[in-house]
Structure 1
Amino acid sequence: MRDRKWSRRDLLKASTASAAGLLFAEPLKAAVPPAEEVTPALIEAAKKEGKLSFYSALELNTAERLARTFEAKYPGITVRVERSGAERIFQRIAQEQGSGIKAVDVTNSTDTAHYLEWKKNDWLAPYLPSDVVRHFPSDQIDRDGMYATSCAWTEAIGYNTNLVKREEAPKSYADLLDPKWTGKMVKAHPGYSGAILTTTFLLARDLGWPYLEKLAQQKIMQVQSAADPPKKILLGERAVMADGNDYNLVLLKDQGKPVEVVYPAEGSPLIIVPSGIFRSAPNPNAARLFQSFFFSAEAQQMLVDVFAHRSFHSQVKEKGEHIPLSSLKLLKADPAQVQAQSEEIKARYAKIFGV
């Protein structure tokens, strides 16, 4: 990562060219593994197991809604949701695998780099639901069929419309350095949130660490999850969020709450959320059935309609209140680079922000 010093004008001109390329680090083969159908035999085998564990970095209400909808569709199979920040999930799985504990069946994470590590360790099992093969773009599918993108969103700037006038609101990351926002901002932490780890990687890559050093001088309220900043500005505890999930603001705005989302002029960090099955899954058939449900048009449309997430399923319709991803300038991370730099990023961030 470079340490170039940036002016406010430089930041507004920051290029996203270096973000070009596939979302997954490895090149795809000409053909992905065959589609796995949901058969009566699979359903029967899953019901005999009767349960599965879903480790998820999605917000708890989202993960629980998926679990309860699956249970209603397949009575007799219960889903135990283990929800935490992506970095905490990664640590827990590493500890369990190292101790020979077979607990996780299916997991999703907001840090794609985790899947590179799990795949390297041979911890993932190949399984591609038929919907993935037929309706998802190839750049959202692991070339060996170990995982695929279950949903996505962007990290954004946001503000409380009761506290900030639209014409005075920040429109870019550069604007967040204005002294008028000192003591009025909130942001999440890359040591807890995989989405914020990716966002920090992107900002350090494209804007430089000196930008983050200047941002840290703005007396920012530090929270854990990427879902927390929208809540803080909604409550009026801070006027502006420096990062946070765009979908929270879209949902709050739908409810008539005084919040607004801003897609930064420099580009919006794209967060993709893969899902995969573990090779040591204690309930492999239930895991496969759940994975197929997760990627079905039914579940994908629910993620879009109810939770304002993004789906790459070709049959799923975009939420009307959302600006299409195709219309946004997106910052995309190379998972391999995030993986290589993750510990450095977390340590340097903690030192700069004092948390």
Structure 2
Amino acid sequence: MRRRQFVAAAAASAALAPLAARVVSAAPAPTALTPELIEAAKKEGKVTYYTAMDLSVAEPMAKAFETRYPGIKVAVERTGAERLFNRIGQEVGSNIRRVDVANSSDAAHFIVWKRQGWLEPFLTPDMAENLPADQRDADGAFVNQRTHLSTIAYNTKLVKPEDAPKGFVDLLDPKYSGKLVKGHPGYSGTIMTATQQLAKALGWEYFDKLSKQKVLQVQSATEPPKRIEAGERAIAVDGSDYLFWMAKERGAPVEIVHAVEGTPQISNPMAIFKSSPNPNAARLLVGWIMSPEGQEFIVKVSGQYPANKRVKAKEGRPALASIKTLPEDPLEVEKTADEIKSRYQRYFKV
């Protein structure tokens, strides 16, 4: 079902009518992670976390939370952001109460969920004080859990530095034919966001030309880094940069390229759902992830850029402000998601 059609169908459900009509108008008063909240969360004993983040980061993060708060188990449900969006819509539309907290690499999802009245605004005092305005929704409905980039990368055993591309247009050179791998916007929120940015910067004719380069088309933004590390393809057109960096730090022959045209920047919001079956554990999980402790854990494990201003970027990674990035526009993605998928599908198929 198409993205907008699906949202409309869900809103028509009798069970959702009151929520769809409800409008969030102001950020809530900050809620501290008090002993009483922690105790209530432990009585619930579990929390379900839907995410598009790679399991190599999501599962260790969940274990760190469980260590911090013994007695609460985190069920990590990982899939591509676009599938995550459809799954949550189907569950809420069928009155299935499963998701507690969701994190997506497509920020446009949160625009839809907020409009539908599905999100439960939540802020801790630390979040209210230390998350800059551009890292949280004005009404407290969601916050940016982390930021990463969708970068070009290459295998240094297969491509010499002097032969490596310096930007996206370089990838159209015939010498790279049959050597490229890229993700798909119909599955990945990272690639959905990056596709919108690149189409705006370079035009759809760029993708038409790129498709003639015998590109290996995969689904998730987490796959190109793995294909490059394994040597299955020499160059990644796109992919989650934190996985390229993690591979490089393991000693893999991987080098990251920040494109001369600008690199797509990807925010990754997170929110609690009103239908959460474990609301106290959900608040505790979000509060911990966005705290200095949780943000530092994400930075340490993956090097993704933190939202909490009390936490510094990982040593050895370029400062986000030093990288030329393409502007992110979740509102435009939300409006044009179906068109992006349709136009892209003309050129590439999984």
* Alignment TM-score, normalising by the size of structure 1: 0.90
| SS across alignment from 1:189 | coil
Does 2:280 align with 1:285?
A: yes
Q: Distance in 1 between matches of 2:190 and 2:102?
A: 15
Whether 1:231 and 2:226 are equivalent positions in the alignment is yes
1:243-282 pair list within 5 angstroms: 243-282=238-277
Query: 1:228 Cα deviation (Å)?
Result: 0.8
- TM-fit CA distance, 1:290: 0.7
SS at match of 2:83: helix
Residues 135-214 of structure 1 correspond to what in structure 2 (within 5 A)?
A: 135-214=130-209
SS of the residue 2:106 aligns to: coil
- Matching residue of 2:296: 301
> What is the CA–CA distance in structure 1 between the aligned matches of 2:249 and 2:224, rounded to whole Å?
18
Structure 2: runs of 5 or more not aligned: 1-24
Aligned to 2:77: 82
The residue that corresponds to 2:37 in the other structure is 42
Look up the SS of the partner of 1:151 in the other structure.
strand
C-alpha displacement of 1:131: 2.4
Structure 2 counterpart SS, 1:344: helix
Deviation at residue 240 of structure 1 after TM alignment: 0.6
CA distance in 2 between partners of 1:32 and 1:64 (Å): 30
Output the amino acid matched with 2:275: S
Unaligned 5+ runs, structure 1: 1-28
Give the TM-score, by structure 2 length: 0.91
Shift of 1:70: 1.0
In structure 2, how many angstroms separate the alpha carbons of the residues matched to 1:319 and 1:77?
29
For 1:141, give the aligned amino acid.
R
Distance 2:82 2:75 in 1: 20
CA distance in 1 between counterparts of 2:229 and 2:63 reads 28
Q: 1:156 to 1:102 in 2, by over 3 A?
A: same
TM-superposed deviation, 1:35: 2.3
The letter for the 1-side match of 2:237 is A
**Offset of residue 69 of structure 1:** 1.0
Contact 1:250 1:321 in 2 (8 A): no
SS at match of 1:337: helix
What is the CA deviation profile of residues 25-63 of structure 1, one whole-angstrom value per residue up to 9, with x for unaligned ones? xxxx9x954322100110111111111111111111211
Letter in 1 for 2:288: F
- Do 1:126 and 1:145's aligned partners in 2 also have CA atoms closer than 8 Å? yes
CA distance in 2, matches of 1:333, 1:315: 24
Q: Is the 8 A contact 2:292 2:311 kept in 1?
A: yes
% same residue: 50
Letter in 2 for 1:112: A
SS in 2 for 1:36: coil
2:139 aligned partner, one-letter code = D
Of the candidates 54, 57, 77, which is equivalent to residue 59 of structure 1?
A: 54
Distance 1:333 1:264 in 2: 16
Specify the code of the residue in structure 2 equivalent to 1:320. Answer: E
Deviations along 1:298-323, one digit per CA (max 9) or x if unpaired, are 11111111111110211112112211
The residue number in structure 1 matching 2:20 is none
Give the aligned partner of residue 240 of structure 1: 235
Q: CA RMSD in A?
A: 1.2
Residues 159-198 of structure 1, C-alpha deviation per residue, up to 9 Å, x if partnerless?
A: 0111111111000111000000000000001111000000
Partner Cα distance (1:32, 1:125) in 2: 10
Q: Measure the CA separation in 2 of the matches of 1:106 and 1:32.
A: 18
Is the 1:129–1:291 contact (alpha carbons within 8 Å) kept by the matching residues of 2? no
Number of corresponding residues: 326
Partner of 2:66, secondary structure, is helix
Whole-angstrom CA distance in 2 between matches of 1:230 and 1:175: 19
Name the CA distance, whole Å, in 2 between partners of 1:74 and 1:354.
44
